[in-house]
Amino acid sequence: MYSENVPRHCFTRKDLILPFFFIKSMYRSERQFRAIDFRERNNASEDSELRFVTCQSLWNQIKSETEQIQEDLNKQLFDNLLSFLRRSHSEFQEKTTEWTCQMKSREIPTAALVLGVNVTDHDLTFRSFSEVLQNNITPYIALLEAKDCPDIKNLMQKLMGQLMNCYIDVDSLEDEDSVQVSQNRIRCSMTSLINWYENVTKTLAISSGCGYIQRHGKFHNKSTSRLHSHQQLLLTTQFPFKLGEKVLQVLINIFLYHDFSVQNFIKGFQLCMVEHFYSQPLSVLCCQLVDTKKRVNSLSHDQCENIRKLPSFRRYVESQVSEKQIALLTADNFLKEIIQKLLEDLHVYHENYVSVLRCLHVFTSSLPKYPLGKQIRELHCACLENRVWETEEYESSLQLARMLNKSDLVTMLQQCVEIFVSSSGKEFDKTVEKLKEFLTQFQKLEVAEAIQERDVSVSSQKELQKKTDLYHLQKTLLELKESRRSKKLTKFEMLRFEVVDYIDSLVRTYLVPADHKTLHEIVYFNTASVLRGHLNAAPRIALHTALNNPYCYLKNQALKSDGGSISNKAPDICIVYKLHLECGRLINLVDWLEAFSTVVMAVEGPNADAASSDQVDDIIHARFIRAVSELELLGFIKPSKQKTDHVARLTWGAC
């Protein structure tokens, strides 16, 4: 620590190696560099480069896809805003003579955009909006953020700066006045702005209320609807990479409980991908179906072994006959064939899965109380987690589905037909047929019902005319009612049961959880703990654990202790920490030191002879000082002036 007494708190490489720019150029190609990262870890084997390239290209695809979604989402909003701006200005330019317009020219047309609490994404929205403006309407745009503008003076300065910069770039088009303003822009006031606005009528001022105007009713719609649209992404069959249930749950929870930020959600997704391709050597097979054949064929022996180690593949092997088992475990070529087939199966499974999931969602999303969730992602999670048909929620949804009325059921079936027709799966011809058959049956039922209804009403009317005494009337009415319920409803009910059962059978065949599928490890990323650790870490808990239970980290038997106690051989800082927990707001350093030395002396044992004991004392003292200053650095204590030689404690709680 004394070598650094010269305050070199900041230093760059430059003073150590001069031609560093030159050396750097070796790594100019970033791509090459990243591939090296992949390789290093995996000992150059296991197709790390290919994996990296796959990962990158896949990510680029996904990124452009999400940008597209984002753009589509914003498009309508931007269009509205643009038309508003055009309108307000055309009005202004057309009727400059009118009195009202002259009044208006003193007002700046303003649109308030309510985006909700989701702050981090707003930057992006505004930025893209200003781009749109720049392209479509005017180069004069000032984008102000609340955090840059603590007061009105700053605001004006920023505003003028942005407008003037642009002004200077375009240059010489405008009259003298504005130039003048730009010269004394620091002192410019509201009036000068307005003057300027009048002179340069093409300029726009848009006040974008994002931090200021928040309406809680609206934000939820906005941000969740965004997530909603992004979940399409998760469900497309276009990308081979998939998220496992737990990972998805973590990402969604971070979104809903922490930030409402779509950007962060996408980043999490990116992290998952990188993590998957980095840590799973077999992820090389996680590519478009067209490429798989080539890649499977070029698998090395090591990679084949990796496949054999996969739990899902082992399960598969065990279910085969013994000759095939042997072949799978010994012959690489045979194995590759099978892998190819299994991967295709997996692909088909996923295609079917998505369609059936959508279809099921049509049903569940209209049930009262949404036992399986309102959003398709909730349903997706439920299906990924375990066999959905074994859950209580599914059972109750079926119960509810059996009580749907006819018109609802018909529209749902129609929707399902649409889904299946448009789906890429090939197995659904029969399903579509069947569903259509149901629809025609419903129609027939309707017709038949109508006829019957008429009959009944006619006949009953006749009957009513015939008999007039009260007793009989009552009786016939009751009979009528009885027969209506038992006879006609049964037909519909039967059909309804049939439909629900059919949907149920679809679910059972196609919505098998992904981790029951062979080779799912290649495509699904499911290590949620990694993700959580990196995105939603808990530094305090880590610190707490390290201090209270050092054995978690230092695997030494001496540190092993049970329950809440701590071994006295623990590192100094743990002991000091443990001792300080026993204190109140203030801690007497002398008491603390003595308590510490009691513990430490006990550990060192009585063999420390008297001659050196003084030195031992000093060392213990020094160790104590170090531990205390470390606690101070960590924020557990701080010096206190309340009492001599006391420090104040800063944390509380059961430990």
Partner 1 sequence: MSQTEGKGSGALQVKFVPDEEVLKHIADDSGIKVRKDKTQQMVNVKRFVKKLENISDDEDQEILEEKNYVAVLGICAQDSMGNGSSVSGGEVYSFQTPKRSSKMAELASELAQTPGQSVASDHSKCPEKTAKTPQSSSNKKKEFVSTTPYRLRKRLAAPDLYLESESEYSASCSEEEDEEDQKEVSTVLSGQKTPAKTKAASTPPPRNNLGKKNKEDKMSNLVEEYFEAHSSSKVLTSDRTLQKLQKRRLNQQTLHDLLKKAPLAYAAEIKELNQQHESLFSKWMLQMHLGFNIVLYGLGSKRDLLEKFRTSVLQDSVHLVVNGYFPSITVRSILSSITEEVLDHIGTFRSPLDQLEFIIKRFKEDSSLELYVLIHNLDSQMLRGERSQQILAQLSSLPSIYLIASIDHINAPLMWDQAKLSLYNWLWYETTTFSPYVEETSYENSLLVQQSGSLALSSLTHVLRSLTLNARGIFRLLAQYQLENKDNPSYPGLSFQDFYQQCREHFLVNSDLTLRAQLTEFRDHKLIRTKRGADGVEYLLIPVDDSTLTDFLEKEDEDV
- Return the residues of window 506-565 that contact partner 1 according to CB under 8 A: 527-529, 532-547, 549-550, 552-556, 558-565
Min dist CB 168 to partner 1, Å, is 16
Listed residue (116, 288, 289) closest to 212, CA to CA: 116
**Nearest CB to partner 1, comparing residues 261 and 292:** 261
Min dist CB 9 to partner 1, Å, is 4
Pick one of 24, 127, 315, 475: the residue that binds partner 1 (CB under 8 A). Answer: 24
**Nearest CB to partner 1, comparing residues 333 and 629:** 629
Pick one of 112, 170, 458, 625: the residue that binds partner 1 (CB under 8 A). Answer: 625
In the window 178-207, what residues touch partner 1 (CB under 8 A)?
A: none
633 touches partner 1 by CB under 8 A: yes
Of 108-116, 178-186, 335-343, 583-591, the segment contacting partner 1 by CB under 8 A is: 583-591
Of 24-32, 131-139, 168-176, 443-451, the segment contacting partner 1 by CB under 8 A is: 24-32
Nearest 10 degrees: Cα torsion 524, 246, 263, 266: 0
286 touches partner 1 by CB under 8 A: no
Question: What is the rounded distance in angstroms from the CA atom of residue 115 to the CA atom of residue 320?
Answer: 57
Q: How many other β-carbons are positioned within 10 Å of the β-carbon of residue 167?
A: 21
578 touches partner 1 by CB under 8 A: yes
Listed residue (57, 385, 360, 356) closest to 248, CA to CA: 385
- The DSSP call for residue 646 is E
At how many degrees (to 10) do helices 406-422 and 489-510 cross? Answer: 30
> Is the distance from CB of 81 to CB of 335 less than 8 angstroms?
no
Of 133-141, 212-220, 221-229, 635-643, the segment contacting partner 1 by CB under 8 A is: 635-643
Of 175-183, 330-338, 485-493, 637-645, the segment contacting partner 1 by CB under 8 A is: 637-645
Min dist CB 86 to partner 1, Å, is 32
**Nearest CB to partner 1, comparing residues 96 and 615:** 615
595 touches partner 1 by CB under 8 A: yes
In the window 96-115, what residues touch partner 1 (CB under 8 A)?
A: none
The three-class DSSP label of residue 605 is coil
Min dist CB 3 to partner 1, Å, is 10
In the window 245-274, what residues touch partner 1 (CB under 8 A)?
A: 246-247, 249-250, 253, 257, 259, 261, 263-264, 267, 270-271, 274
Beta strands in 513-643 (DSSP E): 524-525, 586-588, 637-639
Return all residues near 295 (Cβ < 8 A) that are at least 6 apart.
Answer: 50, 284, 285, 287
**Nearest CB to partner 1, comparing residues 11 and 471:** 11
Pick one of 37, 67, 305, 501: the residue that binds partner 1 (CB under 8 A). Answer: 37
4 touches partner 1 by CB under 8 A: yes
Question: What is the rounded distance in angstroms from the CA atom of residue 111 to the CA atom of residue 129?
Answer: 13
**Nearest CB to partner 1, comparing residues 439 and 634:** 634
Structure tokens, 430: 């029969």
Return all residues near 501 (Cβ < 8 A) that are at least 6 apart.
Answer: none
**Nearest CB to partner 1, comparing residues 416 and 595:** 595
Question: What is the rounded distance in angstroms from the CA atom of residue 631 to the CA atom of residue 577?
Answer: 7
Structure tokens, 412: 């749902």
Where do runs of H (alpha helix) occur along 310-428? Answer: 311-318, 322-330, 332-364, 376-385, 392-401, 406-422
57 touches partner 1 by CB under 8 A: no
608 touches partner 1 by CB under 8 A: no
How far from chain centre, in Å, is Cα 24? 36
Min dist CB 384 to partner 1, Å, is 13
Residues touching partner 1, count (CB under 8 A): 143
Q: Which residues pair with 587 in a beta bridge?
A: 647
Question: What is the rounded distance in angstroms from the CA atom of residue 328 to the CA atom of residue 323?
Answer: 9
